[in-house]
Amino acid sequence: MSEKHIVVQGASLKCKFSVDPKTDILKVKTQQKHYANDKDAAKKLIATDKEIGQTLEKNTFGNCKLQPTGNSFKPCQAVITKWSAFYEKVTLSNQGKILLEDSKATCPIGGPDCIEVVKHGQKAEVSKQNAKKAKPQISNQLNPLVNTSEFQEDLEDSDSICK
């Protein structure tokens, strides 16, 4: 899985046959147990190859180039039938394989691999552990208004109180 991000709920997908390239948001409906990049385990469910059917927020990518109607096109009705290029080495509790940022989906109208991941859906969240490990010299250059050394001491003091 070298340098590839895991796809999570909230990822943006697009279809290569959309007239005006529009994206839709992936919703994970097949499992409620496995999270990524979510310290509270509340928002970022891991997407798997079991996300089949209408698993998007709006279930459309706008008008579809493959469905002409005279001088226009029919609206897309996004239905995912299959995923490819997922991570084979891990199986989650729903028996699904983890989707990666280069995974692609098949639509019955667009065919194999016509839907791709635009944004994987993960966001960086700073935790106490990140703050403790931060190098004060670099942190002070990035944010000169915060005295990182004092901040790290406060974190260490709060940890010792909790123990």
| Percentage with pLDDT > 70 across the chain | 88
Task: Give 73-101 pLDDT, tens digit per residue.
Answer: 999 999 999 999 999 999 999 999 999 99
Q: What are phi and psi of 84, to 5 degrees?
A: -130, 165
Identify which has the larger pLDDT, 78 or 139: 78
Lowest mean pLDDT among 20-29, 61-70, 105-114, 146-155: 146-155
Strand partners, 48: 98
For the CA atoms of 37, 42, 46, 51, the dihedral, rounded to the nearest 10 degrees, stands at: -150
CA distances from 148 to 27, 87, 140, 156 (A): 38, 39, 6, 12
48 close to 31: Cβ distance less than 8 angstroms: yes
Let me know how many helices (H) and strands (E) the chain has, helices first: 3, 9
- How does residue 155 score in pLDDT terms, banded at 50, 70 and 90? low
pTM of the model: 0.77
CA distances from 118 to 13, 26, 124 (A): 5, 11, 17
Q: Minimal CA–CA distance to 3: which of 90, 120, 93?
A: 120
